[in-house]
Amino acid sequence: MKKKNLLFVTMTIFTFCLTISSCGDDRFYDEPINDNTSNTQANQNDFVALYEILGDQIIKINDGFDGKNWMHDDVKHQEMWDLIAQLIDAGDRPWITQFMVIDGQGELYGFVEPLNEDLTQWTMGMAIDMAYVNGTLNGDKEYVYTAIHEFAHVLSLNHEQLNPNTTNCNTYNLEEGCAHGNSYINQFFDNFWKDIFNEHRNIDPDDYDAIDAFYEKYDDRFVTDYAATNPAEDIAESFAYFVTKEEKPNGNAIADKKVSFMYDFPEFIDMRDRLRQSTFTLPMAGAWKRPKCKHKKGKRIEMIK
């Protein structure tokens, strides 16, 4: 039933289908999609409600059929959205056009997913049970952290950063598309991943023990263990660190350099200032729990480990 509901939602809101074969050269291919994963957690994140985003406002598109009764509360949905709208200026998130409330079932924090193949429009999904995990919105600050992390995905994976259509990719090649040479993620990859990527790509993305071992081996390179998942998660974690950490790091560890890398972009510094202007308290850098991520047809899903 849940699967049917999700299929309905999926068919209703988008017809997007990634054609992995179009990525061509997969030298830097990040996590191949396994078609046998249709029954994974990625397909069970229950759909509670879907909203269209218009600036700082949201308008309901439809209700989902899943989730507990208390989750079908438009006031709570509005609170969840208002916090994101307050956190992230509308001008900084032109690509995020839909907001989905999901039942994370104690496992999922949120996800981002392109609405269309050209990567111009994205859905941000946030788990209502995780948002209200301590009874109050953002009670454990994980909600704000997740929003910053998911925002960083869209910031680094949108159509201005990646080309989803090329068949000949000579830069970092992700599930969503081929990174432009001067894109944030390609520069991040060239600076921090090229020397270890061949080792990393041999790791089964579902083998969390192997990812943990990879992190342990290179822990001075990553701001969190979750960042070792892949370059896309690494840049999202590093961006969240950059936003939440009070001072620019001055250490020589590669993890510090990844955060310093963010300061190379004046638009990121301005964005950081705006993100930090929110009236609520930001989480302490690195204090958040450790989610794990599943990818399914371009969807980046954050799960509790």
Residues that bind Zn ion (CB under 5 A): 233, 236, 293, 300
Q: What are phi and psi of 221, to 5 degrees?
A: -95, -15
Q: Give buried/exposed letters for 74-95 (b at 16+ CB in 10 A, else e).
A: eebbebbbebbbebbeeebbeb
Q: Which is nearer to Zn ion, 88 or 293 (CB)?
A: 293
Closest CB 79 distance from Zn ion, rounded Å:
23
Q: Which is nearer to Zn ion, 58 or 108 (CB)?
A: 108
Q: Which is nearer to Zn ion, 299 or 300 (CB)?
A: 300
Closest CB 302 distance from Zn ion, rounded Å:
5
- Residue pointed to by tokens 């047809």: 297
Cα gap 89→265, rounded to integer Å:
18
Cα gap 149→241, rounded to integer Å:
9
Closest CB 149 distance from Zn ion, rounded Å:
6
Q: Which is nearer to Zn ion, 245 or 300 (CB)?
A: 300
126 exposed, middle or buried (CB, 10 Å; 0-12, 13-18, 19+)? buried
Q: Which is nearer to Zn ion, 16 or 145 (CB)?
A: 145
Closest CB 250 distance from Zn ion, rounded Å:
27
Closest CB 183 distance from Zn ion, rounded Å:
17
Nearest in space to 218 (alpha carbons), one of 204, 236, 203, 206: 203
